Amino acid sequence: MGSRSKLPELAAAVVATVALLVGGCAGERSPDREPARTPAVPVPAQSPAVAQGTPLEEPAQMVSRNGVLRAELVVERRKVAVGGRKLWALTYNGSYMPPTLRIRPGDKLDLAMKNSLAEFTNLHVHGLHVSPSGNSDNVLIHIRPGETFHYAYRFPKSLAPGTYWYHSHAHTMSAPQVAGGMSGVLIVDGLQQYLPTGLRHITEHVIGLKDFQVEGDAVRTKGLHIGAPTNRTVNGQLNPTIRIRPGETQLWRLANISANIYYKLRLQGQRFRVIAHDANPVDRIWTADSLLLAAGTRFDVLVRGGPAGRTQLQTLAYDTGPAGNKFPQATLATLVTEGPAVHSAALPTSPFAPTDDLSHAAIAARRTLVFSENKDGTEFYINGKQFDPNRVDIRSKLNTVEEWTVRNDSEEEHSFHVHVDDFQLMSVNGHPHHGHGLQDTASVPAKGRLVIRIHFTNYIGRTVYHCHILNHEDAGMMAVLEIVK
């Protein structure tokens, strides 16, 4: 949800020195914004101060064996540890940061999902190239209270390795359920095959970015406002410490698995070395001082330890537009470089991984998608229509490439996401874009436009495309795509 309120979020902060080598139950539909023209209430960006936290805790893992992962997810409201407190939250398997599901290309995932909530829910495996039909990645089903639904996913051997995630996609309540805690990480192994031999067994960390607002002794799920004070966590922890040795290279899986907010990540003294974007290995390694993670975005990056010392993983101040939100700077984690130095293994070089390039593909159809909203930010539209699960908005042919122009007529950014098939971002506001691979999410600038190309392969059926700011999705900014033979 966007918010015309300029309330900044409650930031977790820590004082650190730079020393690195450069290298409530859910269920009610909540309004998207504070009332128009609500005056801003200043909140100090570092108040209250949060001391250096405990060591980063990796989520538990459910790992496939012999080509199959059989798992159970129990959805329930429980009082659990969240950001160093005990709060009522919406959980998978009793945790605010639930198990990481870990598979390989070509695997099967048989997942029993038991709904112990008092409202319906469902599950979406975000970014995965898999059937949208039946009991696979079908986001149009409802799992009612007390029911257990058996998902059966059959992944192709060509499935791209990298970091994905899973979350509720229950329309009209996806935002409160995800904000309440219903999101976790899914990893497809195989990314290491593209790394030099000396980096194929390096330490990796899941950096699951989730935020929570508090109401009494519970994580807020009703009356959500994106611009309101919030607590940004890594794996459900406030400012955890991450340890690395001088010269050591680690793989960090950066994943924005929150309901609504953006992250602009910076690791002071470092440049991120990007090896995958939205679980698509890049064709050429690229580096950046900061990375923008719109809602739903992921990056797999290499980080190398420098001289002994401490530095901060931060989210920088970011403005999503006049009708959007001003997110303040906050500290997310503290990187501690200590211990005996290790020999620095050779970093990967270009070219890195093979990718699909749609630049010269034959175009079967060109379409324009217009994102808009009403004046008070309570209703959101695609091509002037709100979501209707019984209406097909785009019908596309299997084994063809289409070019879509996504135009944003509103004065705030939107996080554009397509299910089933990833796309190539061709341009932003008329300027050519070279992303070095495919992606499944892209931020559409306020009053701006994107051009994407998308190749429909392997799967037919009805699925959706939408804004991944989930308050916007719940308030209508979603449409049905049907892929046909």
Spatial separation of the C-alpha atoms in residues 368 and 370, rounded to whole Å: 6
Domain with CATH 2.60.40.420 in the chain: 1-340, 363-484
Given this model, what pLDDT does residue 350 score?
A: 78
Task: Identify the CATH number of the domain defined by range 1-340.
Answer: 2.60.40.420
Taking 3-state DSSP, the helix, strand and coil percentages for the chain, each rounded to the nearest 5, stand at 5, 45, 55
Given this model, what pLDDT does residue 134 score?
A: 95
Residue 446: C-alpha distances to residues 86, 319, 369, 450, 470 (Å)? 38, 10, 14, 11, 17
Given this model, what pLDDT does residue 52 score?
A: 58
The angle at the Cα of 187, spanning 183 to 190, to the nearest 5 degrees, equals 170
Name the nearest CA neighbour of 415 among 227, 253, 262, 226: 262
Which amino acid would we find at residue 215?
E
Given this model, what pLDDT does residue 5 score?
A: 37
Residue 240 structure tokens: 């955890």
Instruction: Report yes or no: 77 and 221 within 8 Å, Cβ to Cβ.
Output: no
CB atoms within 10 A of CB 451: 21
CATH topology of domain 363-484: Immunoglobulin-like (2.60.40)
Question: pTM score, two decimals?
Answer: 0.89
DSSP reduced 3-state for 5: coil
For each successive 10 residues of the chain (485 residues), what is the average pLDDT?
38 34 33 30 34 86 98 98 96 98 98 98 98 97 98 98 98 98 98 94 98 97 93 97 97 98 96 97 96 98 96 97 96 97 90 93 98 95 98 98 98 98 98 95 98 98 98 98 98
| Nearest 10 degrees: Cα torsion 124, 428, 436, 63 | -10
Spatial separation of the C-alpha atoms in residues 154 and 451, rounded to whole Å: 31
Spatial separation of the C-alpha atoms in residues 270 and 234, rounded to whole Å: 19
Given this model, what pLDDT does residue 349 score?
A: 84
**Which residue matches tokens 């892929």?**
483
Residue 97 structure tokens: 């940061």
Given this model, what pLDDT does residue 328 score?
A: 95
Given this model, what pLDDT does residue 247 score?
A: 96
